[in-house]
Amino acid sequence: MKMISTKNKGSSPDETHSCFLLPGEFFFGGPKCQINTLLGSCIAITLWHPKLKIGGMCHFVLPSRRNSKALLPSDYDYDGSYCDEVMVLFEREALQRGTNLKDYVAKIFGGSNMLANSTLDENDLIGTRNTEAAVNHLAERGIPLLIAHVGEKGHRRIAFDIETGDVWVKHVSLQKFIPDNL
**57 touches 166 (CB < 8 A):** no
pLDDT at residue number 6: 43
Q: What is the pTM of this model?
A: 0.83
pLDDT of residue 5: 40
Q: What is the pLDDT of residue 122?
A: 64
Q: What are the φ/ψ torsions at residue 110 (nearest 5 degrees)?
A: 105, -140
Mean per-residue pLDDT of the chain: 84
User: How large is the average pLDDT for residues 24-30?
Assistant: 94
H/E run at residue 131: helix 126-140
Kindly tell me the sign of the dihedral angle through the C-alpha atoms of 99, 102, 105, 106: positive
Per-residue confidence at 8, pLDDT binned at 50, 70, 90?
very low
CATH topology of domain 18-64+75-172: 60s Ribosomal Protein L30; Chain: A; (3.30.1330)
Reduced to 3 DSSP states, what percent helix, strand and coil does the chain have, rounded to the nearest 5? 20, 35, 45
What residues are paired with 153 via a beta bridge? 113
* pLDDT interval class at 113 (50, 70, 90): confident
